[in-house]
Amino acid sequence: MQTFQTEETRPFRELCADHGLTVTHQRQVLYEVMQTMPGHPSPEEVYARVKRRIPAISLATVYKNIHLFVERGVLKEVSMHHGSLRVELNSHLHHHMVCSHCKAITDLDEKDLGELPALQSLPGGFQAERYAIDVIGICAACQKAKRS
Amino acid sequence: MQTFQTEETRPFRELCADHGLTVTHQRQVLYEVMQTMPGHPSPEEVYARVKRRIPAISLATVYKNIHLFVERGVLKEVSMHHGSLRVELNSHLHHHMVCSHCKAITDLDEKDLGELPALQSLPGGFQAERYAIDVIGICAACQKAKRS
DNA sequence: ATAGCTGCAAATCGTTTGCGCCATG
DNA sequence: CATGGCGCAAACGATTTGCAGCTAT
């Protein structure tokens, strides 16, 4: 029987090893900070938080590592509808609701969507790995705002 | 019985009226040009084409009108995975396949996905209007490239 | 008439890059 | 000690803005 650990609880050194990344202080803090930011932060937002713990860190380093993390599958890139890159920890299966009015992004558990079609035999021999579903609509707050 | 016309065939003046837009020469050409660009063009690409018919047009005007069109539902904003805005005419129901390797985007007819869950009773009182589904995977070309 | 649109140029924003120094393996 | 990562500052591309003159309704 195999021990099961999520990426959140597994020690950071091990996670880096798994993804072929060198362990550095900056990366560790970056990762820890992202664990405390459950939303879909922009690089600037992550930078602001990390800076509280490593005041000398550079925005360029944050960008470089976010990209590295995305490439290696530690982070996932999220949705469009923003002028800037948004990321989230690559954890459990979920999708997003995007308000077409205020652009807010909310998580949507995959099971709230009901049964999804199987990913097979797509045109052009495309080999599918996963869905990224955005449900576009109006969030509750904007519905209220429009009524008034 | 009601006459059915797609947005592609309906005269431009009517389309503008429907969406509360003033009719201008620039907008008409912009729209016509987009009809001949079936992919997911960037503002620069649209600009280059429009410029052939209105040499004096400004890139700023293209941006302003693309945004206006998106706001009013004439155009749809497409996927991420690009460093720039991508749009397409808001015509028939389809989604996208995005190659995680080369970032190419291919259209995917909604019926190729099979039955989708109904959009109702989402958490937080979110009022859904439509899906935007990206199927992430590896395109045929990149599969070949990897094998070699 | 008048509100809205246009082109222009400058400004801004998010992101990337080159490079000399430093840390990790 | 050899790679690879870091911080800095400059560069860059994409997009936005302010404004003065023109256009559609």
Q: Are A69 and A75 in contact (CB under 8 A)?
A: yes
Task: Express each pLDDT in A60-78 by its tens digit.
Answer: 999 999 999 999 999 998 8
Helix (H, G, I), strand (E, B) or coil at B22: coil
Q: Which of B135, B142, B147 to mutate to test the interface with A (most CBs of A within 10 A)?
A: B135
Task: Express each pLDDT in B37-50 by its tens digit.
Answer: 988 999 999 999 99
The vertex-A37 CA angle with A36 and A43, nearest 5°, equals 125
Q: Which domain holds residue B108?
A: 92-147
Placement of tokens 């976010």 in the chain? A66
Q: Are A16 and A27 in contact (CB under 8 A)?
A: yes
Task: Express each pLDDT in B61-70 by its tens digit.
Answer: 999 999 999 9
Are B61 and B96 contained in the same domain?
no
Are B73 and B96 contained in the same domain?
no
Joined tokens for residue A73: 């599958």
pLDDT of res. A70: 94
Whether residue B1 is predicted with pLDDT greater than 50 in this model: the reply is: no
- Structure pTM? 0.85
Q: Rounded to 5, what percent of chain A is helix, strand, coil?
A: 40, 20, 40
Count of domains forming chain B:
2
Give domain status of residue A5, yes or no: no
CA distance A73 to A68: 9
Are A18 and A68 contained in the same domain?
yes
Which strand ranges, in their side-by-side order, compose the sheet holding A94-99?
A: A105-109, A94-99, A127-138, B127-138, B94-99, B105-109
Whether residue B79 is predicted with pLDDT greater than 80 in this model: the reply is: no
Question: Domain containing B128 — which CATH number?
Answer: 3.30.1490.190
pLDDT of res. B128: 93
Protein footprint of strand D, defined by Cβ closer than 7 Å to any strand atom: A 21-22, 24-27, 54, 56-58, 60-61, 64-65, 68, 83; B 16, 22-25, 42-44, 59-60, 63-64, 67, 83-85
Contacts of B139 (CB under 8 A, 6+ apart): A124, A125, A126, A127, B97, B99, B101, B102, B104, B106
Question: Domain containing B69 — which CATH number?
Answer: 1.10.10.10
Segment B98-113 mean pLDDT: 85
Give domain status of residue A85, yes or no: no
Segment B73-98 mean pLDDT: 86
Whether residue A40 is predicted with pLDDT greater than 80 in this model: the reply is: yes
Q: Are B100 and B111 in contact (CB under 8 A)?
A: no
Percent of chain B with pLDDT over 90: 57
Give domain status of residue A1, yes or no: no
Give the residue, B99 or B12, on which the prediction is more confident: B12
Residue A84, strand partner residues: none
